[in-house]
Amino acid sequence: MNSHLINRLDSRQADFQARYARLLQWDSARLQDVEQRVASIIHQVRQEGDTALIRLTQQFDRIQLHPEQLAFSAAEIDTACQQLPEEDMAALQAAAERIRAYHQWQMPNMGIQRYVDATGMQLGQRLTPIERAGLYVPGGLASYPSSVLMNAIPAQVAGVRELVMVVPTPDGSINPLVLAAARVSGVQRIFRVGGAQAVAALAYGTASIPQVDKIVGPGNIYVATAKRQVFGQVGIDMIAGPSEILVIADQESNPEWLAADLLSQAEHDEAAQAILITDSAPLADAVEEQLQRLLHTLSRHAISRIALANRGILITVPDLATACQLASQAAPEHLELSLADPEAALPLIHNAGAIFLGRYTPEAIGDYVAGPNHVLPTSGTARFSSPLGVYDFIKRSSLLGGPLSALRQIGPIASHLANREGLTAHQYSIDCRLESAS
């Protein structure tokens, strides 16, 4: 039995890779009954629209609504903003400004880009924003105004015409910070519905809630399953797993700071993962001592303790190059480089959602106010996917056009390939033009 607060590994142990791989795994198996219940909810909303939404909202959120009450009124949003202390609104505004500035920097050149090739063909692409985006925001205890900013502002910067937000209001309650964040972010319409039924409404539309082109935002297993099931009808951002942090630290790092950073993710969820990799065994010992000390001070200490015991890891390695290799293997959501020279380690890192450079850049600063998006790939998907950004709300259309002279040069090639594929209508659509011009 593990006597430590957190799992301890050494990369030089014979069974290290097997143990490391096992701890990295997250059981994302979807329970069959969840799949079936979500499918039933989606079917009800598709068939009955607002009627199903109202019935399901009463069932799950214990609130009775009429169709005209599904949307928050402008007066309700105004009241929520007026209720907030000035420092709350100021913090939201400051964070929004920084997030907006970063995503404006991220914007590609919109419109048309093209070139003319040697045959005279015009080739290129046109970039345009999607028309309407749906933003899912959790309610109740997991109510994060920062996620409203992070999901809505990139869409607004990208030029999305309409932002539609859904948020559950259990027992009729709503965090006014969430409504204020929506106002600051430019969200036009907010509906007081949540769960799989809200995802279905965004995907298929109802009399009250418009159909969107893409759904973004976090949620529980029912929301995640619903997003998976409606994908194809609409786009989605990603299917997010538990929060993750991996810290690479040298012997000069402050163990209290490192412990605080590990706990900043462990407090999210019992399935969250917090990993420290260091070439200093004394530092690993000191971090474990600080974890034990700090745990008692946390409001979510019980959740944090379970997360550390289940999936937390302190790893000692012979050198920092090995640390970077192990970090890339994990492909973590958040990667901190608590090193004297983090830039030197950067080329050795191949997979990570967000990389925090240096001892004075804790992961939590990225959650709220740094600017880059905090919606990041989890569960190793940073191997092939990226943070949410303006490009998630932009689509590309290819452009191609040319004169007869270009068709005469490349048409016979296409005709030959169409013939070889047995697609005679394809072949004829080219040949008839060439023949009429001869």
Element housing 236 (H / E): strand 235-236
Distance between CA atoms of 112 and 118, rounded to whole angstroms? 20
Point out the catalytic residue in the list 244, 334, 336, 363: 334
Alpha carbon separation from 267 to 8, 218, 243, 248 (Å, rounded): 20, 17, 9, 20
- Clarify whether 334 is annotated catalytic: yes
Distance between CA atoms of 261 and 122, rounded to whole angstroms? 52
For 303, residues 6+ apart whose C-beta sits below 8 A from its C-beta are 266, 267, 268, 269, 270
Point out the catalytic residue in the list 244, 267, 288, 333: 333
**Do 13 and 319 touch, CB atoms closer than 8 A?**
no
Distance between CA atoms of 65 and 70, rounded to whole angstroms? 7
Distance between CA atoms of 189 and 183, rounded to whole angstroms? 10
- Clarify whether 350 is annotated catalytic: no
Cα radius of gyration (the chain): 26
Q: What share of the chain is helix, strand, coil (3-state, %, to 5)?
A: 50, 15, 35
For 233, residues 6+ apart whose C-beta sits below 8 A from its C-beta are 203, 204
**Do 323 and 12 touch, CB atoms closer than 8 A?**
no
The token duo for 58 is 């009463």
**Do 275 and 288 touch, CB atoms closer than 8 A?**
no
Distance between CA atoms of 275 and 325, rounded to whole angstroms? 14
Q: Is 238 helix (H, G, I), strand (E, B) or coil?
A: coil
Of the candidates 307, 316, 241, 236, which has an alpha carbon nearest to the alpha carbon of residue 281? 316
- Positive or negative, the CA dihedral 40, 43, 47, 52 is positive
Q: What is the largest CA-CA distance in the chain?
A: 86
Please classify residue 374 by burial: count the beta carbons closer than 10 Å to its beta carbon, then call 0-12 exposed, 13-18 middle and 19+ buried: buried
Annotated catalytic sites, by residue?
333-334
